Amino acid sequence: MTKSEAHTSVRLRVYATLLLLPLALTGCLKPLIFWGYLLGGPPSIEPDFDLMTKKSMTDKEATVAVVCYAPLDVKYDFSTVDHDLAKFLTYRLVQHKVKVTNPDQVRAWLDENSENWDEPSEIGKALGVKYVIYIDLESFNLWEEHSHDLLRGHAEGVVSVFEIDEDGEGEKIYTKEITSLFPTVAPRAATEVPFATFKQQYLARLSEEIGRLFYEHYNGDDIPDAT
């Protein structure tokens, strides 16, 4: 850049600042921000997995298997919640261009080898994937606490990622605790929505919360799930 061009650039920035200053002082800058969002879209939020590991599930060479474990006290009331959540999360990841092993294939392997594996990385080696997303679902319920008239999904657990190398050896590279509540503002009356429908809605919401650890999302995405 020549001196003349540099001086011109500086002058333009000064003029722009002088033009925007009165708008900022009079509170008129918000419409400008709105138009900026309208033209360029809201700012995206980088996946936590990417931030913490400097890796990405959306890389071309990345392949993933989703595994969910739920203890017996959770499965007593929700016998298929582990497989249901794995399916919902798989769907979310596929929507965001992540290559994921068919959840029925994962379930078949788990059923055949229920007593023969100790670490999630063994599943990754058997299925030939680079990453295993392992969800340890510690609690899951669809009722508001101390109520049988109000529906409110809540869950707690730990999400871990195991990376499998070319020799089939696995290493845990990521861990994140999750605490989920849906709806976030207030529960729903059980008379307003069938129980089975609400269960599907919450599994969709919970899988989205977990999925966001691995794909970008946007400010404001949670607003529809507030009530």
- Distance of alpha carbon 123 from alpha carbon 128, whole angstroms: 8
pLDDT at site 4? 52
For 10-68, write each residue's pLDDT tens digit.
454 545 445 545 544 455 544 544 454 454 555 788 999 999 999 999 999 999 999 99
Single-letter residue type at 25: L
CATH number of the domain within which 71 lies: 3.40.50
* Residues 109 and 192 placed together within one structural domain of the fold: yes
Nearest to 102 by CA among 62, 44, 63, 154: 63
CA 150 vs CA 155, 180, 181, 190: distances in Å? 16, 17, 13, 5
For 120-172, write each residue's pLDDT tens digit.
999 999 999 999 999 999 999 999 999 999 999 999 999 999 999 998 899 99
Q: Residue 12 belongs to what domain range?
A: 3-40
* Residues 90 and 119 placed together within one structural domain of the fold: yes
* Residues 109 and 57 placed together within one structural domain of the fold: yes
* Residues 105 and 23 placed together within one structural domain of the fold: no
* Residues 28 and 51 placed together within one structural domain of the fold: no
* Residues 98 and 182 placed together within one structural domain of the fold: yes
* Residues 33 and 120 placed together within one structural domain of the fold: no
For 176-212, write each residue's pLDDT tens digit.
999 999 999 999 999 999 999 999 999 999 999 999 9
Nearest to 119 by CA among 72, 172, 79: 172
- Distance of alpha carbon 98 from alpha carbon 83, whole angstroms: 19
- Distance of alpha carbon 28 from alpha carbon 34, whole angstroms: 11
Total tally of structural domains belonging to the chain:
2
* Residues 170 and 59 placed together within one structural domain of the fold: yes
* Residues 55 and 15 placed together within one structural domain of the fold: no
Place of tokens 């400097």: 54
